[in-house]
Structure 1
């Protein structure tokens, strides 16, 4: 196989395991402050890995407290280069809080005045959805296909295990903050109710128990026009460092509707699971193993096996045509832990 094809095939996505703790902690130390689902805390990461292992080995019929974590691994060296997760039901054990952007009409017929007023309301409307979380890829791979692989491999897993996930998916994107980690939105709102800086508040949010949000934040509407212009300007805006995962999900059919993050006002993306591109366009086909060389410029496909704890996914170059088996090399089949005649799920990248 050509050098270019080998380059595409050098990464594998698999479920995280407890032995990944040190490498995962190193990734967490590099991630953005707002990625609270990937805390720079070894004890919390260890618990997350234990929860993920238990989730992959569990027998479930509907989305519950399962929390799945995947890692991007270099197939030759075993180095961890990224991670991404899915929480099966983000409102299963406690409310999942967001800020809902509402529009009210204020009118005075006597004065002939009528205008719209934008307001933010604390809510847990999104509870019960499956949450995409914990995305991080090392900087050198962030703009390339490896980032798309780790992000979309979990979507292909959802397509393979549909009963484990909700009918809707959501993803909280990191909002704007400066190089010192200060958030204009947090400084304008949350700071007044929490009395702590943005980074400390995000670290608190990484604990998983967010009942304090309902205890400390106001339950009445927050009028947007009363916030400083800088805070208004970052509402619904994504952090430059999170632009890549944001764009990947947009290309999958996710949309930003009316919800933003409580801490930094980053957008919350939503999609019907059945309408996500990697779910609806993926197909299950038989596998055939060959020694033939595939041209480096052949179309790229995201390919996975259909296992649970043994889930594997990778990028494969192929001229596959609908209705035919997928032909791959013995090395690629071994990486996917598959044999001749097994079935794979694939979708065009």
Structure 2
């Protein structure tokens, strides 16, 4: 059984291996020891000092096998993007060129460089080792973050963002970036992807076109991938769409992958999750639920069968029965509170 927990220093070697395995286009996991260590340090600091309001902070989680201790995946939440470093997107829009006198009316699509997501909270760094992409593991890795958001909503923005990896081939060649490289840059896609991942974004402001780009001027290959998700990322997009995330025209400035968003309060697992009081015992008849404890620094989440009991505690919360094994993995005992939502 996989268990989600905050990342620890001991996870560095595995995190570096994930960075290697994730390949080109996975900007948030560059193969760079200093940056990976910085991400761990930032997460340790965020979990060590719980605030009372939204601020910069990286909450980094790993998926660990409850029996063997092997770490098989990662996911994270960036509490507020773009405050220390610029956060760029293209917005796909329209411009009208018309002349009533000549009877001409043309609508053309444009791409405009924006910082519209500054301060928004971002879901990021979702990676699951190929051998673990079975059963409900991917669902757990993606959706466990929503229980953390629900429990500690005061630490996050009312808008939640997720950038989807755009189209590129096995060599890291992006059709969209190829057009930009030809006209504005002299760097290939893997290079700019790596520079962005390690925080060196100054070249974007220096070299990116400052005015809207007319989409019809792009090559057909570049136009065809605008807003299209990489094949390996489509399952992750599907899970977010189940939760209510939608695309509103924002795309990545390098590979044109879509950025999807949802109001925090409208995310399905946030809206439908509830706190329950723990009871320890046998679970003979139960349904699969995503369940987490309500602890901050010791956050744990997993998917298991639980039995909802039709009785309330002194505070009016309903009771849920967990097995001893599940309670141990969640670090809870009788009388503690958990948050859960049906899968």
Question: 1:75, CA displacement in angstroms?
Answer: 0.7
- Residue in structure 1 matching 2:147, options 148, 156, 162: 156
From the superposition, tell whether residues 190 and 260 of structure 1 become closer, same or farther in structure 2 (CA, over 3 Å): farther
The whole-number CA distance in structure 1 between the counterparts of 2:101 and 2:227 is: 36
From the superposition, tell whether residues 334 and 76 of structure 1 become closer, same or farther in structure 2 (CA, over 3 Å): same
Question: 1:299, CA displacement in angstroms?
Answer: 2.1
- SS of equivalent residue, structure 2 residue 110: strand
Question: 1:94, CA displacement in angstroms?
Answer: 2.7
1:339 aligns with 2:329: no
Cα contact 1:190–1:217 (8 A) shared by 2: no
Cα contact 1:94–1:211 (8 A) shared by 2: no
Report Cα offsets for 1:218-245 as digits up to 9, x if no partner: 1101000000111111100000011111
1:187 aligns with 2:178: yes
Question: 1:321, CA displacement in angstroms?
Answer: 6.0
- Residue in structure 1 matching 2:324, options 326, 330, 336: 330
- Alignment-derived partner of residue 314 in structure 1: 302
Note the 1:256-295 alignment, pairs <5 A.
256-290=247-281, 292-294=282-284
The whole-number CA distance in structure 1 between the counterparts of 2:293 and 2:273 is: 12
- Alignment-derived partner of residue 28 in structure 1: 19
Cα contact 1:64–1:92 (8 A) shared by 2: no
From the superposition, tell whether residues 15 and 235 of structure 1 become closer, same or farther in structure 2 (CA, over 3 Å): same
Of 206-215 and 166-175, the range deviating more from structure 2: 206-215
Question: 1:179, CA displacement in angstroms?
Answer: 2.2
Cα contact 1:152–1:278 (8 A) shared by 2: yes
- Superposition RMSD in Å: 1.4
The whole-number CA distance in structure 2 between the counterparts of 1:197 and 1:209 is: 15
- Alignment-derived partner of residue 302 in structure 1: 290
Cα contact 2:63–2:71 (8 A) shared by 1: yes
From the superposition, tell whether residues 31 and 331 of structure 1 become closer, same or farther in structure 2 (CA, over 3 Å): same
Report Cα offsets for 1:27-59 as digits up to 9, x if no partner: 111114222111122221111001000011113
Report Cα offsets for 1:93-125 as digits up to 9, x if no partner: 132100011101110112100011100011101
From the superposition, tell whether residues 159 and 190 of structure 1 become closer, same or farther in structure 2 (CA, over 3 Å): farther
- Alignment-derived partner of residue 62 in structure 1: 53
List structure 1 segments (4+ residues) > 3 angstroms apart after TM superposition: 321-324
- Alignment-derived partner of residue 80 in structure 2: 89
Q: Which runs of 5+ in 1 are unaligned?
A: 1-9
Note the 1:190-201 alignment, pairs <5 A.
190-201=181-192
The whole-number CA distance in structure 1 between the counterparts of 2:70 and 2:299 is: 18
The whole-number CA distance in structure 2 between the counterparts of 1:338 and 1:254 is: 32
- SS of equivalent residue, structure 2 residue 332: coil
The whole-number CA distance in structure 1 between the counterparts of 2:261 and 2:50 is: 27
The whole-number CA distance in structure 2 between the counterparts of 1:35 and 1:294 is: 42
Note the 1:90-129 alignment, pairs <5 A.
90-129=81-120
Report Cα offsets for 1:170-217 as digits up to 9, x if no partner: 011000011222100000114532311111110011012423312210
- SS of equivalent residue, structure 1 residue 144: coil
Question: 1:60, CA displacement in angstroms?
Answer: 1.4
Given the two structures, how large is their TM-score scaled by the length of structure 1? 0.93
1:175 aligns with 2:166: yes
Cα contact 2:24–2:171 (8 A) shared by 1: no
Question: 1:163, CA displacement in angstroms?
Answer: 0.9
